[in-house]
Amino acid sequence: MLKKINGETWKPLNFGAHKGLRRKYAVSSLGRAASFKENITEDGKLLSGSVTSGYRTLNLHTGSGNGTIYLHREIAKLFCKKPSPKYKYVIHLNHKKDDNRSTNLKWATLEEMSSHQQNSPMKKAYKKRQANKTEGLKLNATKVKSIKDAINNPKRKLTYKQMAAKYKVSEMTLYRIKSGENWSHIK
């Protein structure tokens, strides 16, 4: 028997292989997941699921194979209005991946999601740690200044691949320097 919480709404999950499963599944507006046979409040069992990259998931085993369902996406599909088809990503407003309450979820575009991730407290703390790091770096402030000047030079002759070889870093490092994800404190 599932304990009721005031204001909580349950909606059934419908996904590709749900007909071949012995039990039915549902998610709530408060971010909970449950399985049940007939009635969620009478024979429902609360599920904790697994964690994949910080996100709560359900791993379902069907006759045709296994499927992983990300709870935040399913809850958003059922409880959050999607403004248009270009809103393909679900973000956690408080940046906590385990807080799947429908009021904490929002559909976002790729640009909105990227911006939201950059403003996360964990990302900001990481950037601060990286900015203060002095040991084990391939680059220093002088080299980064040189790289930024080369990237922004309209008459640049070197490709990113050639610049990466010259400075002994990956091309991704150069793109991260250009976007400001890395070394943003160097002008």
> Token pair 């870093």 is at which residue?
169
- pLDDT of 137 reads 77
Top-tier CATH class for 10-118: alpha beta
Alpha carbon 130 to its chain's center: 21
CA gyration radius for the chain? 23
SS3 89: strand
Per-residue model confidence as pLDDT tens digits over 59-68? 877 656 667 8
Per-residue model confidence as pLDDT tens digits over 94-148? 999 999 999 999 999 999 999 999 889 988 888 888 777 777 778 888 889 999 9
Residue type (1 letter), 145: K
